[in-house]
Amino acid sequence: MLFGRTTLSKFVIEHTRGQHSDMGALLIDVAAAVKGISALVGKGALSGFSGSAATTNVQGEEQKKIDVLANEAILRHCEWGGQLAGMASEEMDEPCPIPESYPRGRYLLVFDPLDGSSNSDVNVSVGTIFSILQRPQAGDATLADFLRPGAEQVAAGYAIYGPATMLVLSVRTGTHAFTLDRESGNFILTHPDIRVPEATREFAINTSNERFWEPPVQRYVAECKAGKTGVRGADFNMRWIASMVAEVHRILMRGGIFMYPKDSKDPSKPGRLRLLYEANPMAMLIEQAGGAASTGRERILDVAPEALHQRVPVILGSREEVERLERYHQEFD
């Protein structure tokens, strides 16, 4: 029976009492946006919003109609409540100010409205990723307010639109997952205090980029592929969904390691994934669940951002494997 179980609203109110009591309302608005996106994504081709929007975002990626709609859903659900100083997203060149008619707060919401959007037209899981930062007092956010290391995030989370829609959240009190009960419209706490197993025999990386990787990553993956007879003495399994949200979700549920490392494919890009709205929130969720998140050379949450859409190498998941990769980088450098 669902009655008596912990809803997302109850959880956020209880877990943000005191210093961040005004963040609860913001998280509930984020959840409302996520429910709207979930309903839209769940309609598939019937929504009439499949395919390209025929526009590109600031990073030169083709925008899907659904990228643009999901971005709009989050802006409209979250701009009015008086908790925010500003918002920024993968799909907007510059930070988006709070409209004149609404009060300002001290939080900054940074998001990837639709992660894995190349999967949206083929009915594979996609998601929404978000990060919440704060400035010292209420007002209009400046660019500098957004360029804070991930260690300063006050909350982070993602929604996964899969067979079930789930919201995974950390307000710095562990990592907890909620499942959307489609009949009641409530997110119900189903996975409290997730722990990532320290060891794993499962890795995720886009191996089509192998020739562009640095030697430490080539070495690590070669050792995994060598199986029982190689130096690792074990057979490894591999997965690649091309939705970071789905990979991180699998790792939170059963362990594993995810890599989108530095490569030489495009020397102007130090990695594929974006620091502020992909790497940082996922790193916080993984660390809060006992895992580790690194660029290979430094803790992701310690990277000092220099630009809103900055990219960064990402290696995250089960602690022992992330530490092994850091060792391989040290030995190489």
Beta bridge partners of 104: none
DSSP 280-298: HHHHHHHHHTT-EEE-SSS
What, of ligand AHG, Mn ion, none, does residue 6 touch, CB below 5 to 8 Å by kind? none
Greatest alpha-carbon span in the chain: 66
Residue 310, interface with ligand AHG (CB under 6 A)? no
Quick note: the x/- pattern for ligand AHG over 250-279, rule CB under 6 A, is ----------x-----------x-------
Q: How far is the CB of 258 from ligand AHG (least distance, A)?
A: 8
Residue 326, interface with Mn ion (CB under 5 A)? no
Rg (CA), the chain: 19
How many CB atoms lie under 10 A from the CB of residue 194? 20
Residue 6, interface with ligand AHG (CB under 6 A)? no
Residue 326 DSSP one-character state: H
Interacting stretch for ligand AHG, rule CB under 6 A, among 46-54, 188-196, 237-245, 282-290? Answer: 237-245
Question: CA–CA separation, 248 vs 286, rounded Å?
Answer: 8
What, of ligand AHG, Mn ion, none, does residue 132 touch, CB below 5 to 8 Å by kind? none
Quick note: the x/- pattern for Mn ion over 105-144, rule CB under 5 A, is -------x-xx-----------------------------
- Six-digit token string for 166: 């789930």
The closest alpha carbon to 323, from 226, 216, 245, 225, belongs to 216
Residue from 115, 287, 321, 326 binding ligand AHG (CB under 6 A): 115
Q: Is 218 exposed, middle or buried (0-12, 13-18, 19+ CB in 10 A)?
A: middle
Task: Indicate the residue whose CB is closest to Mn ion.
Answer: 115
- Nearer to ligand AHG by C-beta: 5 or 211? 211
The closest alpha carbon to 112, from 179, 67, 56, 165, belongs to 67
What, of Mn ion, ligand AHG, none, does residue 41 touch, CB below 5 to 8 Å by kind? none
Give the binding-site size for ligand AHG (rule: CB under 6 A).
13
Residue 263 DSSP one-character state: B
Residue 124, interface with ligand AHG (CB under 6 A)? no
Residue 243, interface with ligand AHG (CB under 6 A)? yes
Distance separating the N- and C-terminal Cα atoms of the chain: 56
Question: CA–CA separation, 303 vs 285, rounded Å?
Answer: 16
Residue 90, interface with Mn ion (CB under 5 A)? yes
Question: CA–CA separation, 105 vs 82, rounded Å?
Answer: 5
- Nearer to ligand AHG by C-beta: 98 or 284? 284
Q: Site residues for Mn ion, window 251-310 (CB under 5 A)?
A: none
Phi, psi of 45 (to 5 degrees): -65, -20
- Nearer to Mn ion by C-beta: 90 or 247? 90
Integer CA distances (angstroms), 109 to 142, 187, 190, in order = 13, 21, 25
Q: How far is the CB of 90 from Mn ion (least distance, A)?
A: 5
What, of ligand AHG, Mn ion, none, does residue 71 touch, CB below 5 to 8 Å by kind? none
| Identity of the residue numbered 296 | G
Interacting stretch for ligand AHG, rule CB under 6 A, among 11-19, 109-117, 162-170, 211-219? Answer: 109-117
Task: Indicate the residue whose CB is closest to ligand AHG.
Answer: 244
Enumerate binding residues for Mn ion (CB under 5 A): 61, 90, 112, 114-115
